[in-house]
Structure 1
Amino acid sequence: MIHVLPYIVEFSFCLLVLMGFYRLFLARLTFFGSTRIYLLSALGFSLILPLFDFQFGVSGNLPINTISSIGIAGSQIIKDESESIPFLSIQVLLPALYFGGLIWMLARLMIGLFRTMRLIQNSEKKHYQGFQIALNPVFRPASFFSTILLPTLDLEDRQFQQIIIHESVHIREGHSFDILLVQLVKSIMWFNPLIYVFENLLKEVHEFQADQQVTLSHSSIDYSRTLVQILNSNRRLQLLNNFNQFQTKKRIIMMHKEKSKESKKGVFLFGIPVLAMLFFLISCSSGVDRPQLVGTWTGSDFEFEQTEGADMSAMIEGGKMLHVDGKLILEENGNYQIVAGQGDMNGSGTWELGSDDILTTFDGQESTAYSIVSLTDQELITKHEVAFESPMGKLAGIITLTYKR
C-alpha cells in the first residue's frame, strides 16, 4: 500500500483546498451552471494531479555531518526469520479491509442501478414534451438519466408542471452522469469522508440549478409551497435526482436570493492560482521518488575534496575501501543495512526521503543527511560535507559517493 497512501493523502488535500475555495468564494453566487462545472473540475483535478510527477533536478545543498558517516554504503538484504510478517498483520488486514469495502460499495452501486432500471421497466410510460415519464406509486418525483419518475401525473396541476420543469433540467444538464461519476469515486474512496461532503455539495448545486429554471416561469413563492408540500413524500433511491432530497429551507433561501451580477463571474478566475499552487505542491518534485531509491546499491566510486586541515590521505583511503564494492540496502519498510567492501557488517538503522536528500539514522542515534546529486535507475550519486576534530587539528571536506544498482 506504499504507493496508494501518498495518492490518497494528495487527493484529499487537493479536494479539501478546492472545496474550501468553493465554500469561501463561490457558494453564495447564483451562477449554478458555472459552480457545477467548477466542482466537477475540482474532482477531476484531485484525481489526476497526484498521478503526475514533473521532476526538476535535485539541488546541490550540502548538509554538514560528522566524519563517522564517511563511506556509508548499503548491504545485501539480511533476512531475519523473527522479522517475517505474520499472516494477520496490518500489511494483510488493511488491504483486505479496503478491498472488502470496495467490493461492497461496487455491489451496492450495481444493485442500485439494477433495481432502479427494473422499477422503471415495470412502470407505466408516458411521453410529454420530448421526455419519457415513468409512473409508479413507489416513486417520489425524481429523474434518472433520460426518464422522469413520478408517482402519478396530472398535467393540469400546477405542481406537476413545476416538478416536470425541475426534473427536465436534471435530464438536459446530464446530472445523472455526475451522480454516477461520484458514486464510482465514492466506491474507490469509500473510507474518505471528503468525498461524501463533495457529493452533497454537488447535489446541492444540481437542485439550485433546477430550481432556478422553474422560477423563470413560475412564482418563487408558489414554487416554495410546492417544495414544502412534497417534503414528506415517499422513499429515495440511491442514483436519482430526487426532487426534494436537500434542505428545503436552504433551497427556498437560494431561489429568493438576488441574482449575482455578471461582473462577479470574475471570482472564478481566482481559482486559477489555486490550481497552479496545487500543481506545484502535488505534481512537481525535486526529481526523486522513494520507490526509485528502494533496493540494493553497490559502492563504485569515492571522492573526498578536502577543504581544511592537514593531509589525511591514509584515512581517506580507508573510507574508500569501506565504500567501494560495499552494499547499501534501502528497504521499503524504512530500514537500511550496510556491508563494507570487505564483506563485514558496518551498521544498520532507518532511512527516509527528504525534499532532496536521504536522511539516515544510524542505530537509532546518529543522524546523517546525503544530498542527492544524481539519480537514475542504475546510478546514485550523493554529496555531503564532513567536519571533525583530530589530533592534527580540524579536518573538513566534501565527500561524493557513487553507487551502481
Structure 2
Amino acid sequence: MFLIYLIKVALCWTAFYLLYAGLFRSETFFSANRFYLLGSLVLGALLPLVPEQLFFLQEPELVSYTLQPIVVGVDQIGQAAAGSGNVAGGGFGWMQLLSTVYLLGMVVATSRFAWGIWQLYKLRKNAAIEKAAGYTIYHTGKPHLPFSFFKGLYWSRHFQTDEISRQNILRHEEAHIFQWHSLDVMVAELAAILLWWFPIARLYRKEIKTTHEYLADEHVTRWFSKKEYGRLLLRQSQSGMQVAISNAIFSSQLKRRIIMMTRTKSPRWAQLKYLAALPLMAFLFFSFASSGNEETSAASDAGTTSTDMLEAVADTIPDDNSDPVFKVVETPPTFPGCEDLTDASDRNNCSQKKMMEYVFENVKYPSEAKSKGVEGLVVISFIVEKDGSVSSPKVVRSIDPSLDQEALRVVKNMPLWNPGKQRGKPVRVQYNMPFRFKLDEKDKEALIPAYFPSCAKAQDRKKCSSEVIMKHLIGNLKYPEDAKKEGIQGNVVVKVLIDENGKVEAKEVVKSLNPSCDQAA
C-alpha cells in the first residue's frame, strides 16, 4: 500500500536527518554533508522497496490467497447476502479519506512548484542573453536578487553593485552552476512534494540549500577575502524577489554561513563520524525486512488480504503427492458464474460475490455454539485442484468444534471452481477462508444465566443467586447416616437443567462419591 510506503520513507528520513543534525551538521566537510543529505534522501525512498528475499537466504513464507472474512450470524446472513455485491469494493472509509487528503495536498504542492517554474520561464523569456564561460547570463527586467538555476545565471538590471562585489557574486553563482546544485534542489523539491505533510522533508530541503551556500562561500573565499565577502553578504542581506527553486547568494541563513566561513576546519579524524550511517542503514534494512515478514503472516492469519493485492510469483510449496501447490498464481481461481466476464478485476469481484452468495445460503450458526455463547474467527484452508474441485480442507484457526465443523461442511460442499492458471496451465492453488461467527444482540441477551427471583434487582445477580443456593443447601442437605458411619467424605457434582419456566430438573451425577451421598445431593 502506497500510504504505508510513505510512512516507511518518513521513518527513514527522520532517522537519517536526526543522525545528520546530531553528528554531521556542525562539521566543515561540506561536500561530504551534501553527499550524505542527497544520498540519504534517495536511500530513504528506496529502502522500503527492497524485498526481504534479496537478503535472507531462506525462502520466505508467501501469503496464500485469503478471502474476505465472512460474518456469520442470524441477521447478518440475510443482510450480507443482499449486499454481497459490495464485498470487494467496500465503502468510503478512512483509507479513502486519507488518500484523498494526500492527493489534494500533493496537487497543491505540485502547483506551487509548477508556479515557481513558470515564474522562472517568464523571467528567462523576456531577458537579454549574455554568453559566459560554461553558462548563460540572463539580464532580466524585474527587480530580484541574483540567482542561478542549472546553467543559467539570472541578474536583474535593477541590481547595481561595485565590480569587486560583482565578481564575488559571479564566483558564488558559478560554484552553484558548475557543482550542479540545482539538481540537488530539484530532488529535494520532489521529496517535499511526495511527503508534503512531513516537516522532515522540508528540513531536508532547507539543509541541502544551506549546504550549497557553504560550498559556494568556500569557493568564493579561495579568491577573495573572507572579511570583504562577509561585508558584502551583510550589505546585501535585505530581502528581494527570489524564485523558490533557485540558488540565490543572499539566503536567510546568513548567520550560519558567516559562522561556518570563519570556523576552523574540522580535523580529518572527524570524518570517521560518517561511518555511523552504516549501522543505521543496516538497522532500517533489517527492520523493514522483518516487518515485511510480520505483515505477510498477519495478513494470512487475519484474513484481510484481497486477491487483487497479490502479485503472481513462481514460488510453490510441495504436498504429499509431490504435485506443487501454488500460493499465488498469475490467474487466480474464480467461483463459477462469472465466466463471461473478460476483465480480470470484474471477474474477481464477481467471483467474490458469487462465493459469498453460496456461503450465506448454506452456512448456519450451530445451535450448540449459540447456546454456549461462542463466537469468533474460524479459518479454513483448502486447495482448488486443477479440475476446480476443492480438496484438503482443514481448520487452521479454531474457536469451537461445532463452529469448525460447520465451516468445514460449507467448504467441502462447494461447487467446482474455475481453476487457477500459471503460465497458461491449470495448477493447484491454496486458499484461506475466514468465517467470523458473531451472535446478534438478542441472542446474547438470551445467554443471561439463570437467577433466583429474589435476586432480580440485585446488582450482581450471580453472587446473589450463589448465596441463595448456599442457604438452600445448608438448610436442606443432610449427611447420609451410612456414609457418616463409614467415614465417607468428598465431592458430588450434579448436572441440572433449568428450563424456560425456571423449573429445575436433576439430569445426572457427573462426579459420584457414594450411592447415598449421590441421592442426597
Instruction: Determine whether 1:141 maps to 2:141.
Output: no
Q: Deviations over 1:332-391 (max 9, x none)?
A: xxxx9964xxxxx73389xxxxxxxxxxxxx9xxxxxxxxxxxxxxxxxxxxxxxxxxx8
Unaligned runs of 5+ in 1: 61-72, 305-314, 328-335, 340-344, 350-362, 364-390, 393-405
1:65-214 matches, within 5 Å, as 75=70, 90-136=94-140, 137-152=142-157, 157-214=163-220
Instruction: Determine whether 1:28 maps to 2:26.
Output: yes
Whose RCO is larger (CA < 8 A, sep 6+)? 1
1:348–1:283 distance in 2 versus 1, CA, 3 Å? farther
Shift of 1:39: 0.5
**Equivalence for 2:293:** 286
Separation in structure 2 between the aligned mates of residue 88 and residue 59 of structure 1, nearest angstrom: 34
Q: Percent identity?
A: 23
1:127–1:348 distance in 2 versus 1, CA, 3 Å? farther
Shift of 1:261: 2.2
State the AA in 2 paired with 1:75. Answer: I
1:29–1:169 distance in 2 versus 1, CA, 3 Å? same
For residue 259 of structure 1, give the secondary structure of its aligned residue in structure 2: coil
State the AA in 2 paired with 1:124. Answer: A
Q: 1:49 aligns with which of 31, 47, 50?
A: 47
Shift of 1:76: 6.3
Separation in structure 2 between the aligned mates of residue 8 and residue 277 of structure 1, nearest angstrom: 18
Flag the structure with higher strand content.
1
The answer to whether the Cα contact below 8 Å between 2:120 and 2:243 also exists between their aligned partners in 1 is yes
Separation in structure 1 between the aligned mates of residue 305 and residue 92 of structure 2, nearest angstrom: 26
Separation in structure 1 between the aligned mates of residue 98 and residue 249 of structure 2, nearest angstrom: 39
Q: 2:394 aligns with which of 295, 301, 306?
A: 301
Separation in structure 1 between the aligned mates of residue 409 and residue 25 of structure 2, nearest angstrom: 62
Higher Cα Rg, which structure? 2
Separation in structure 1 between the aligned mates of residue 277 and residue 35 of structure 2, nearest angstrom: 12
Q: Deviations over 1:190-242 (max 9, x none)?
A: 11111111111111111111111111111111110011111014211111101
State the AA in 1 paired with 2:148. Answer: S
RMSD: 3.8
Separation in structure 1 between the aligned mates of residue 148 and residue 112 of structure 2, nearest angstrom: 19
TM (norm. structure 2) is 0.53
**Equivalence for 2:234:** 228
Separation in structure 1 between the aligned mates of residue 127 and residue 305 of structure 2, nearest angstrom: 62
Q: 1:218 aligns with which of 224, 231, 239?
A: 224
State the AA in 2 paired with 1:145. Answer: F
1:224–1:88 distance in 2 versus 1, CA, 3 Å? same
The answer to whether the Cα contact below 8 Å between 2:380 and 2:434 also exists between their aligned partners in 1 is no
Shift of 1:268: 1.2
For residue 70 of structure 2, give the secondary structure of its aligned residue in structure 1: coil
Shift of 1:31: 1.2
State the AA in 2 paired with 1:283. Answer: A
Separation in structure 2 between the aligned mates of residue 191 and residue 38 of structure 1, nearest angstrom: 23
1:1-40 matches, within 5 Å, as 3-40=1-38
Structure 1 range deviating more: 146-155 or 238-247: 146-155
Q: 1:267 aligns with which of 261, 269, 273?
A: 273
1:228–1:34 distance in 2 versus 1, CA, 3 Å? same
For residue 137 of structure 2, give the secondary structure of its aligned residue in structure 1: strand
Flag the structure with higher helix content.
2
Q: Deviations over 1:73-131 (max 9, x none)?
A: 96368665899899876454433322222222222222221220220221122233333
Separation in structure 1 between the aligned mates of residue 71 and residue 43 of structure 2, nearest angstrom: 41
TM (norm. structure 1) is 0.68
The answer to whether the Cα contact below 8 Å between 1:155 and 1:161 also exists between their aligned partners in 2 is no
1:98–1:178 distance in 2 versus 1, CA, 3 Å? same
1:242-253 matches, within 5 Å, as 242-253=248-259
Q: 1:324 aligns with which of 391, 405, 408?
A: 408
1:138–1:294 distance in 2 versus 1, CA, 3 Å? same
1:326–1:227 distance in 2 versus 1, CA, 3 Å? farther
The answer to whether the Cα contact below 8 Å between 1:74 and 1:298 also exists between their aligned partners in 2 is no
Separation in structure 1 between the aligned mates of residue 396 and residue 289 of structure 2, nearest angstrom: 34
The answer to whether the Cα contact below 8 Å between 1:167 and 1:243 also exists between their aligned partners in 2 is yes
State the AA in 1 paired with 2:50. Answer: F
Shift of 1:46: 1.3
The answer to whether the Cα contact below 8 Å between 2:380 and 2:394 also exists between their aligned partners in 1 is no
The answer to whether the Cα contact below 8 Å between 1:145 and 1:177 also exists between their aligned partners in 2 is yes
